[in-house]
Amino acid sequence: MKENRTYIERLFRAHYQEMYHLAKCILMDDAESKDVVSEVFEQLLAHPIVLLPESETGYLMQAVRNRCRNVIAHKNVRERVERLLLNDEKSVSMFTEDQLVNRLTELIYQLEPPIRKQIVLLRFADEQTYQEIADALGVSKVTVYNHLSGAIDQLRQQLKKQRP
């Protein structure tokens, strides 16, 4: 029992950061992400298992993914669409692929015309409403929608070019 506690503490300290980062990429919420990681360790406490050193990371990351998907599945559809939470396996894998997300961040800054970059950043980094963005840029709300839609197409095409 004592050995299990020591074991949990070692796992916690070694993997927490990575697990938290993964959960946050999926859930986009600090508190919920911390809860998910805690629940994974709670589960290990309740049902002690010893992980092989080479499978520790894989097991813990998959446990985080599963719990995140479970959290999303229990949210009502309005919250899911508002926070853009998707819980299918393909989306979850994409969201947590650091290299892909980093590349996409770079591509956002290369969007043309520049108003598309502004709209993406005002909407997703500054969390402004579409009307606030329209007022700030002196355009209509429909124009904001159209530019954002165009930006998403452009980003997908750029990513497709770079991915095998």
Partner 1 sequence: MTQEIDNKRQRLLDMTEHPERYSEKEIEETMHDPELQDFLEMLALTKRAADPHRNDTADVEQEWQRFAAAHPQTTAHRFRRVAAAVTTGILVTGLAVAAIVKTSVSSKKQETVKTETLSKPVAVDTTKKATTTLPVDSISAKPKVYDNVPLQTLLNDMASYYHKKLVNQSGDKQNVRLYFEWDQRKSLEENIGLLNNFNRFDITVEGDNIILK
Residues 6+ apart with CB under 8 A from 73: 87
Cβ 112 to partner 1, closest distance in Å?
A: 15
**Three-class DSSP category at 39:** helix
Which one, 52 or 77, has the nearer CB to partner 1?
77
**Within positions 29 to 58, which residues make up the interface with partner 1, using CB under 8 A?**
30, 34, 37-38, 41-42, 45
Assess 112 for contact with partner 1 (CB under 8 A).
no
**Within positions 140 to 159, which residues make up the interface with partner 1, using CB under 8 A?**
142, 145-146, 148-149, 151-153, 155-156
Q: How far is CA 31 from CA 71, 108, 160, in A?
A: 12, 27, 34
Q: Of residues 101, 110, 114, 135, which one binds partner 1 by CB under 8 A? A: 101
- Amino acid, res. 129: T
Cβ 30 to partner 1, closest distance in Å?
A: 8
Q: Of residues 51, 61, 94, 139, which one binds partner 1 by CB under 8 A? A: 94
Output helix, strand, coil percentages for the chain, rounded to the nearest 5: 80, 0, 20
CA distance 85 to 24: 11
